Every structure is written in C-alpha cells, then in structure tokens.
Amino acid sequence: MDKDDPSCPVRRQLIPSSSEQLNQHGIDRYLIHKENRATEEKRPDSIARQYHDRIAFTVTQVCTVYCRFCFRRELVLDDKADLNMSVDEGLRWISEHPEIRDVLVTGGDPFHLSDDKIEYIVRKVQEIPHVGSMRFGTRSVIALPHRITPGLKKVLSGNNRVPIWINTHCNHPKEITEHTKKAVYELLSCGVNVGNQAVLLKGINDDIPTFQDLHIKLLRSRIRPYYLFYCEPVPGSDHFRTDLLKGRELIKKGLRGVVSGMAQPQYVIATDIGKINLMDDDSIVSVDENEYVLRNYNGKTTTIPAVGKG
C-alpha cells in the first residue's frame, strides 16, 4: 500500500477509518446471524453449514491481512463471540456426515498455518471417503505470495483422489504483482486450480475501468474469477457498500462481451440462507431505500438492510 496516499485502494481496505463508527446499517452479531449458529442442528463451531452437500470449515482465526469489511471481523475483534474453532472436532463431524462432498477450508487464512498443520488437514480430509473435493479460501496468494513455498507445494501437490481448489481474494488490480503471478503458477504446477472471490467496494473497484482492469489482470495471472460478492452488512462497513444493483451494472457494462467469458464472475450476496445469485431477476424480490428482499435457490427469502437509495 502507498504510505503517502490515503486514497490508495489497498490501504483503504486495510487501515481503520473513522467512518466505521457510523454504523447505521450493519447487522449486530452478524456472524452468528449469518452462519445460522442458532439452528437446531448441533455442529462444532468450526463448521458453518448452509447447504446439504458442502460446508465451510474454519481452521484458524488468524489472517495475513485484516480487511476492514470482513464478514467475520467479529471473530477477531469481539471476544464475546466465544467460538472454538477445533480442527479435530470439525474433521470428526465431516467424517460422520456422508452427504458432505465438498469441504471448504477457510478462516482466518488457512495458509497462515504451518505446513505441518496444513498437511494434517489435507491428509485427514482426503481420507474421508465421501469427500470428493476440497477448497482453500486464502488471501495469501495475493497478500503474501511468498507463502507459496516449496514446503507448501509439497503438501498440496499430487494427483490425489480429492482435487484441491484455491480461491483467493483480490479486489483491485494494484494487488496483483509479478510475485502473485509466480505464486499462482506454482500452485497450478501442483495440480491446484486458482479462482478469485472479490468483494465489491465503493470507491475502490466500483468504476468500470478499474473493474475491467481487475478482471483482465486476474486472467492474465492465471486466476479465474469465480465470485463477485456484494459487501455484507457487517457493523462498520456502511462506507464500503454500494447499491445492490451496482455489481450487475459493472458486469453488464464492463465485462459482458467486452472481455473474455473466462473473466466473468458470478455476482452473489452471501446471506443467512446461503448465497443468492444477483444476476437472476427472480432473486431480487424488492429493492427500496430501507431494505433489500432477496430470494434464494429454493424459494426462501431474507432481508438485508440497504445503505440509502436503491
């Protein structure tokens, strides 16, 4: 990040701002709300479940960089959240649930763990017969590309029964360097595919030239754009949130037909009833200045507080 420029797009993502204190539209105790931790099904804290066949498995609360808009910021900032992210409890739960096909290892940043710990998780997940794929969600490929060391490559490589996918997190073309490109190449050479999950951020990547450049540069770096997330209503993130329809507009005007089909992410919002694809007309029930009512794949609806005009 640029130490002299307060508007640097990387700096704005990571350095606290007094705007965070406004918090008019954030949902309190967001993590508990969103991950349905109050439901009947008993699960270890490390397992977040919104789908029948796949889960998000939190293996650490530590990150390489701390994004100010993180939907899990309470995990780090709020000790009242009091969650116990036990890897072994999570592994046991997965092995006892034969319907789970896809294990999404997340955090924190799982690549912040030691090679030994990552190897343990990879080996244990791969040993579960009903698991068919595993993914790591990690910002390290972008924020700490030097983390892709020969030791880590050894842990991830091989034509295993269970393929490994990585989704990294890059929001601005400035985050992609020659080091990133090399790290991605190293991962691909291990048989690991690399995708990207970006967050739509006001004043950072919500203009057409930056948005286009981001997607062109991702593809040039061998990273396949997977999701563009609407910024979630966590407390303190109002100043990062755009209109709900902004992401659609950026994809339609900035990417469709103009850049390779390979560079087109799906625009989604992650909610308490799973991800909702915002490119589908029937997923948006209503949009007004107070709230957005959204519908998921199986017809359930949920409400998100808006940030001003729809």
Asked if 275 touches ligand PLP (CB under 6 A), the answer is yes
> Binding to ligand PLP by residue 202, rule CB under 6 A?
no
96: buried, middle or exposed (CB in 10 Å: 19+, 13-18, 0-12)? exposed
Q: Which is nearer to ligand PLP, 1 or 162 (CB)?
A: 162
- 54 is a contact residue toward ligand PLP (CB under 6 A): yes
The answer to whether residue 56 forms part of the interface with ligand PLP (CB under 6 A) is yes
**Residue closer to ligand PLP, measured from CB, 182 or 224:** 224
Residue from 17, 51, 81, 119 touching ligand PLP (CB under 6 A): that is 51
Q: What are phi and psi of 54, to 5 degrees?
A: -150, 155
CA-CA distance, 23 to 16, in Å (whole number)?
13
Of 104 and 259, the one with the shorter C-beta distance to ligand PLP is 104
Q: According to CB under 6 A, which one of 31, 55, 121, 251 is a site residue for ligand PLP? A: 55
Q: Which residue's CB is nearer to ligand PLP, number 111 or number 227? A: 227
Minimum distance from CB of 90 to ligand PLP (Å)? 13
**Residue spans of alpha helices (H) in 35-135:** 73-77, 87-95, 115-127
Three-state SS for 137? strand
How many chain residues touch ligand PLP (CB under 6 A)? 10
Range in contact with ligand PLP (rule: CB under 6 A) among 8-16, 52-60, 111-119, 158-166: 52-60
Q: How far is the CB of 148 from ligand PLP (least distance, A)?
A: 22
Indicate which single residue of 23, 27, 45, 50 sits in contact with ligand PLP (rule: CB under 6 A): 50
In whole angstroms, the minimum distance from the beta carbon of 277 to ligand PLP comes to 9
For tokens 């949130």, the residue is: 241
Q: Does 270 bind ligand PLP (CB under 6 A)?
A: yes
Nearest Cα neighbor of 199 from 303, 124, 274, 269 is 269
Smallest distance from ligand PLP to CB 201, Å: 19
Query: What's the length of the chain?
Result: 310
185 vs 70: CA distance, rounded Å: 27
Burial string for 259-275 (b: 16+ CB within 10 Å, else e) reads beeebbbbbbbbbbbbb
Q: List binders of ligand PLP among 102-141 (CB under 6 A).
A: 104
Half-sphere exposure of residue 82, counting CA atoms within 13 Å on the CB side? Answer: 1
Name the one range near ligand PLP by CB under 6 A: 53-61, 142-150, 236-244, 252-260: 53-61
3-state secondary structure of 256: coil
CA angle 226, 269, 22 (to 5 degrees): 125
48 is an interface residue for ligand PLP by CB under 6 A = yes
Smaller CB distance to ligand PLP: residue 17 or 36?
36
β 224-230/193-200 pair status:
parallel
**Which positions lie near ligand PLP, rule CB under 6 A?**
48-51, 54-56, 104, 270, 275
